[in-house]
Amino acid sequence: MSKERPAKPRALVTGGAGFLGSHLCEWLLGEGYRVICMDNLRTGSLENIAHLREDANFEYVHHDVTLHIEVEGELDEIYHFASPASPKDFERIPIPILKVGALGTYNSLGLAKSKCARLMLASSSEVYGDPLVHPQPEEYWGNVNQVGIRGVYDEAKRYAESITMAYHRHHRVDTRIVRIFNTYGPRMRPDDGRVVPNFVSQALAGEPLTVYGDGSQTRSVQYVDDLIEGTFRLMHSEETRPVNIGNPVEYPVREIARMILSLSGSRSEIVHEPLPQDDPKQRCPDITRAREILNWEPRVPAREGLRTTLDWFAKQPHRPQVPAPHG
């Protein structure tokens, strides 16, 4: 008598049509999962998951996670990635950001509790605010202006971490928390407002690259594939404390601009504008915990990841092609 094959694990990805969520859905399918992608398309796009929708193991559900979540059948894992994350969204849709961090996380945890599923919360380096400690270890409590423009996102993520740990301690829900540092790659929105898509879009359009302040503020940027691998490793570890997943190699913002100009061959100039309120001066992860517990560290060099990202942006409809290198 032949043995029955074990059923493929089934995972829910909230925000699955977004930049990070779509890459996560793709990764999980590659790992043999059945995947439910849930999104209300406020900032996500069906174009991000178009290549997945013919896969028999992929299902798209249009739903706002700030409302009660119903999923029929068994569920093994929940990846709560729903949340607008663009700095431009902080002023445009502040209330939905707070609601998805609070109500969306509450509903996702309630579903995890009812299904006995393991839940991964996608938190953010924004919980550290404009940090006074460098680099930032997970034990650092942060320096956040809760009434500033960025506070809606910072505090949404801080609250999401608090309620996740409350469900973990009080209801014994099996939870994981990934603190995501600046991540870039294909499928980012061109109007995202973060450093890489800003510079890439401007370079391809032949427009001046906008550097805020003098450009000496630093960012540690990681390619999306590294993030997704680290997130997956964390989900399958026994670590219930928050874990930083980011690239500890720092670049001044002006150096990122120059790198993108060099890779694109753009003749654009760099222009300077005033630094936005509460814009972090330094943001760099201490990834000791990820290295020791997950045996993880980023592998994609910045120039390689930026080249891939530039190529993707250049191929999008209505997007200028990469100018021919000069000189």
pLDDT at 319: 47
Inform me whether the pLDDT recorded for 321 exceeds 90: no
Average confidence (pLDDT) over 168-192: 95
pLDDT band at 282 (very low <50, low <70, confident <90, very high): confident
- Residue 140 covered by a domain: yes
Tens of pLDDT, residue by residue over 44-85, are 999 999 999 999 999 999 999 999 999 999 999 999 999 999
From residue 105, give the alpha-carbon distance in Å to each of 6, 163, 191, 215. Answer: 30, 8, 26, 35
CA distance 192 to 201: 10
Query: ω before 84 within 30° of 0 (cis)?
Result: no
Identify the CA nearest to 230 among candidates 242, 218, 214.
242
- For every residue of 84-133, DSSP letters joined together read ---HHHHHHSHHHHHHIIIIIHHHHHHHHHHHT-EEEEEEEGGGGBS-SS
Identify the CA nearest to 232 among candidates 49, 71, 32, 64.
32
77 or 322, which is more confident?
77
220 or 293, which is more confident?
293
pLDDT band at 325 (very low <50, low <70, confident <90, very high): very low
Tens of pLDDT, residue by residue over 108-121, are 999 999 999 999 99
Inform me whether the pLDDT recorded for 1 exceeds 70: no
- Residue 324 covered by a domain: no
Q: Which amino acid is at 308?
A: T
CA distance 56 to 189: 27
Domain containing residue 134: 10-315
Q: What is the mean pLDDT of the chain?
A: 92
The active-site residue, picked from 79, 153, 184, 223, is 153
CA distance 136 to 179: 11
- Residue 156 covered by a domain: yes
Report the percent of the chain where pLDDT is more than 70: 94
pLDDT at 3: 52
Asked whether 178 and 241 are in contact (CB, 8 A), the reply is no
Average confidence (pLDDT) over 127-152: 94
Report the percent of the chain where pLDDT is more than 90: 85
pLDDT at 133: 93
How is residue 77 written in tokens?
A: 């894992």
- Residue 45 covered by a domain: yes
- Residue 323 covered by a domain: no
- Residue 1 covered by a domain: no
Q: Which amino acid is at 133?
A: V
- Residue 17 covered by a domain: yes
* CATH number of the CATH domain containing 262: 3.40.50.720
Asked whether 220 and 285 are in contact (CB, 8 A), the reply is yes
Average confidence (pLDDT) over 185-212: 92
Catalytic site includes residue 79: no
Alpha-helical regions (H) of the chain: 19-30, 87-92, 94-99, 105-115, 151-170, 195-205, 224-235, 253-264, 288-289, 302-315
Query: How many domains is the chain partitioned into structurally?
Result: 1
- Residue 73 covered by a domain: yes
Q: Which amino acid is at 174?
A: D
Average confidence (pLDDT) over 143-148: 93
How is residue 116 written in tokens?
A: 């006995």
Torsion of CA 252, 184, 137, 283, to 10 degrees: 30
pLDDT at 152: 96
Tens of pLDDT, residue by residue over 212-259, are 888 888 889 999 999 999 999 999 999 999 999 999 999 999 999 999
pLDDT at 190: 87
Asked whether 286 and 179 are in contact (CB, 8 A), the reply is no
Is residue 35 classed as helix, strand or coil in its secondary structure? Answer: strand
- For every residue of 7-32, DSSP letters joined together read PPPEEEEETTTSHHHHHHHHHHHHTT
Inform me whether the pLDDT recorded for 269 exceeds 70: yes
Asked whether 292 and 241 are in contact (CB, 8 A), the reply is no
All residues at 6 or more sequence positions from 249 whose CB lies less than 8 Å from its CB, including other chains: 220, 298, 302
